[in-house]
């Protein structure tokens, strides 16, 4: 096996060496998960729920440890990382309520009784991105385990540390060996083997639309189940009847949180022309208050980007754009990039149409409600977005009109573990979280019992 050197993006110091699995190691992990599935699916629903609650308790006891790992490994701020670790706990606890609630149905038929069962799929391969290593891992493995599946999980090559520790916590909580296996490795090796191995009956992938398309094509060869959460180029629409001060104060958090490394980032800001100048003046002040700084400090708003290569990619968009104003970021070691606001001359520029995945906001004016919807929907993506207005009628019309799976009115909150999450168009396939997520980890089996045999 080869190894990977994990680097702290805030100071560029090496913090760990992680072994990367090859194809043989991946096959061995899948075989172990397949063996474990035979027993895990037979665990009584109440007992499976109890084990998941113990798992949630183990994560709860390690919140500070997991948060510190994420700060060091991914450059997340300590406040964000603490929330993310708590989200893992909450997601596991939420889905711990599902094993006893995997209900079937009794359907009226002639000549007998017809019932349905929710049967687990088998081994589920979860492929996790580097931008939110902890929460997104749990969004995949928690409902899968609750439904009676076993999971092999590949963290992103550059951010594996919290996933490895979560896997250890599962074993410490009593989750049997092979039920949740963490396999660090390259996507081209481990992830590809998840797609091609016939024992893996579902893939859960979060990442770029480009890679998601390749995974989808690979899964077609075996008609393999699939959940995809892919890219986003999301709009924050501010109408002239909105609370301008509140909208301007909230805008930086909607795009720059996690240094803009978020599929839900509201990286396109649409402002109605009549309030454009007033809004931009307020936005410049709020961006100035949203500084990148040491992520270990509790009041830091934004940390570094994840790698030097990603920083260079983000910088290329700014170099080609029209900079209106910028915030601040540290100098010296670390993959730092200041929050930046662009004012493109049209809605066809690269910064306005492509997912930058960094702390870059592009602002354009619009005239009418129809104009705002046209601009917002002129994208291959459809993940999230925000609408700022004090008109309930307008909020309803525009929220129905925007082609996206997760919208917020007078807010940027996109994700709650008890509500569905997923995208339209090329932003994904299927839904994670919420009461229906566990259904995507089961097959419906229909059984007819004849009450008059032979008829």
Residue 454's region, left for phi above 0, alpha for psi from -120 to 50, else beta, is: left
Residues 302 and 224 in one domain: no
* 250 within some domain: yes
Q: What share of the chain is helix, strand, coil (3-state, %, to 5)?
A: 40, 20, 35
Retrieve residue 326's tokens.
């910028």
Are 84 and 192 part of one and the same domain?
Answer: yes
Domain that holds residue 242: 235-409
Place of tokens 């397949």: 34
Give me the catalytic one of 70, 93, 157, 229.
Answer: 229
Q: CATH number for the domain including 291?
A: 3.40.309.10
pLDDT tens digit sequence for 242-275: 999 999 999 999 999 999 999 999 999 999 999 9
What's the 3-state SS for 302-355?
ECCCCCHHHHHHHHHHHHCCCEEEECCCCCCCCCCCCCEEECCCCCCCHHHHCC
Q: Are residues 292 and 200 in the same domain?
A: no
For residues 257 and 302, membership in a common domain is answered with: yes
Is 13 domain-assigned?
A: yes
Tell me, what's the pLDDT at 59?
98
Give the CATH number, domain containing residue 55.
Answer: 3.40.605.10
pLDDT at 371 over 80: yes
**Domain for residue 335, yes or no?**
yes
CB 141 within 8 A of CB 183: no
Strands 384-388 and 235-238 turn out to be parallel
Do 393 and 298 share a domain, yes or no? Answer: yes
Residue with tokens 């700060």: 71
User: Mean pLDDT over residues 145-154, rounded?
Assistant: 98
pLDDT band of 455, cuts 50, 70, 90: low
> Is the residue at 73 inside a domain?
yes
pLDDT digits (tens, 9 = 90+) for 202-220: 999 999 999 999 999 999 9
Average pLDDT over every residue of 80-109? 97
Residue 348 and residue 208 in one domain: no
Q: Check whether residue 175 and residue 252 sit in a common domain.
A: no
263 catalytic? Reply is: yes
Q: Higher pLDDT residue, 14 or 454? A: 14
Identify whether 328 is part of a domain.
Answer: yes
Cβ within 8 Å of residue 134, ≥6 positions away: 66, 70, 81, 84, 85, 87, 88, 162, 163, 166
Q: What is the pLDDT of residue 414?
A: 84
Return the ∠ at Cα 139 (arms to 146 and 382), rounded to 5°.
135
Residues 254 and 375 in one domain: yes
Report if residue 358 sits inside a domain.
yes
Does the pTM of the predicted model rise above 0.95? Answer: yes
Strands 2-7 and 14-20: antiparallel
Phi then psi for 148, rounded to 5 degrees? 100, 10
What average pLDDT does the structure give for the chain?
Answer: 97
39 and 125 in a single domain? The answer is yes
The answer as to whether 313 is a domain residue is yes
- Given the residues 263, 264, 355, 432, select the one marked as catalytic: 263
What is the tens place of the pLDDT at every residue in 286-321?
Answer: 999 999 999 999 999 999 999 999 999 999 999 999
pLDDT of residue 403: 98
User: Do 196 and 57 share a structural domain?
Assistant: yes
> pLDDT tens digits for 39-60?
999 999 999 999 999 999 999 9
Q: What is the pLDDT, as a whole number, of residue 1?
A: 72
The answer on pLDDT for 454 being more than 80 is no
- Of the chain, the percentage scoring pLDDT greater than 70 comes to 100
Asked whether residue 452 carries a pLDDT value surpassing 70, the answer given is yes
Domains: count for the chain: 2
Residue 114 pLDDT greater than 80, yes or no? yes
Structural domain contains residue 417:
no
Please check whether residues 223 and 247 belong to one and the same domain.
no
- Regarding whether 118 and 146 lie in a shared domain, the answer is yes
pLDDT at 215: 98
Verify whether residue 229 is a known catalytic residue: yes
Residue 222 has pLDDT above 70, yes or no: yes
Give, rounded to a whole angstrom, the gap between the first and last alpha carbons of the chain: 62
């Amino acid at each position: 096996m080869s190894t990977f050197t994990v680097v702290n993006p805030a100071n560029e110091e090496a913090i760990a060496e992680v072994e990367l699995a090859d194809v043989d190691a991946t096959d061995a992990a899948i075989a172990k998960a397949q063996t474990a599935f035979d027993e895990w699916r037979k665990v009584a629903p109440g007992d499976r729920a109890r084990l998941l609650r113990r798992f949630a308790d183990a994560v709860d006891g390690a919140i500070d440890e997991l948060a510190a790992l994420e700060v060091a490994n991914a450059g997340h701020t300590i406040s964000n990382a603490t929330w993310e670790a708590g989200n893992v706990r909450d997601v596991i606890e939420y889905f711990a309520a599902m094993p006893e609630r995997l209900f079937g149905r009794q359907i009226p038929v002639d000549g007998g009784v017809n019932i349905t069962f929710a049967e687990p799929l088998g081994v589920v391969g979860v492929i996790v991105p580097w931008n939110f290593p902890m929460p997104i891992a749990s969004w995949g493995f928690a409902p899968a385990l609750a439904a009676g599946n076993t999971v092999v999980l590949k963290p992103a090559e550059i951010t594996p540390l919290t996933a490895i520790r979560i896997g250890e916590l599962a074993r410490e909580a009593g989750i049997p060996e092979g039920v949740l296996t963490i396999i660090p490795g390259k996507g081209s090796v481990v992830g590809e083997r998840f797609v091609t191995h016939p024992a893996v009956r579902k893939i859960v992938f979060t990442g770029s639309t480009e890679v998601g398309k390749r995974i989808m094509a690979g899964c077609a060869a075996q008609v393999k189940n699939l959940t995809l959460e892919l890219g986003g180029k999301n709009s924050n629409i501010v109408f002239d009847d909105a609370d301008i001060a509140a909208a301007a104060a909230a805008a930086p958090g909607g795009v720059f949180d996690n240094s803009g490394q978020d599929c839900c980032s509201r990286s396109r800001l649409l402002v109605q022309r009549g309030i454009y100048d007033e809004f931009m003046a307020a936005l410049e002040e709020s961006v100035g208050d949203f500084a990148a700084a040491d992520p270990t400090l509790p009041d830091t708003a934004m940390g570094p980007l994840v790698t030097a290569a990603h920083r260079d990619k983000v910088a290329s968009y700014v170099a080609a754009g029209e900079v209106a104003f910028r915030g601040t970021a540290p100098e010296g070691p670390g993959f730092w990039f200041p929050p930046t606001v662009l004012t493109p001359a049209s809605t066809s520029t690269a910064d306005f149409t492509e997912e930058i995945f960094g702390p870059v906001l592009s602002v354009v004016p619009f005239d009418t409600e129809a104009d705002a919807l046209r601009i917002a929907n002129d994208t291959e993506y459809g993940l999230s977005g925000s609408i700022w207005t004090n008109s309930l009628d307008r909020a309803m019309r525009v929220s129905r009109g925007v082609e996206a799976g997760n919208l917020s009115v007078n807010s940027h909150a996109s994700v709650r573990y008890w509500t569905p999450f997923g995208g339209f168009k090329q932003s994904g396939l299927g839904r994670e979280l919420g009461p229906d997520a566990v259904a995507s980890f089961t097959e419906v089996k229909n059984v007819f019992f004849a009450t008059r045999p032979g008829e």
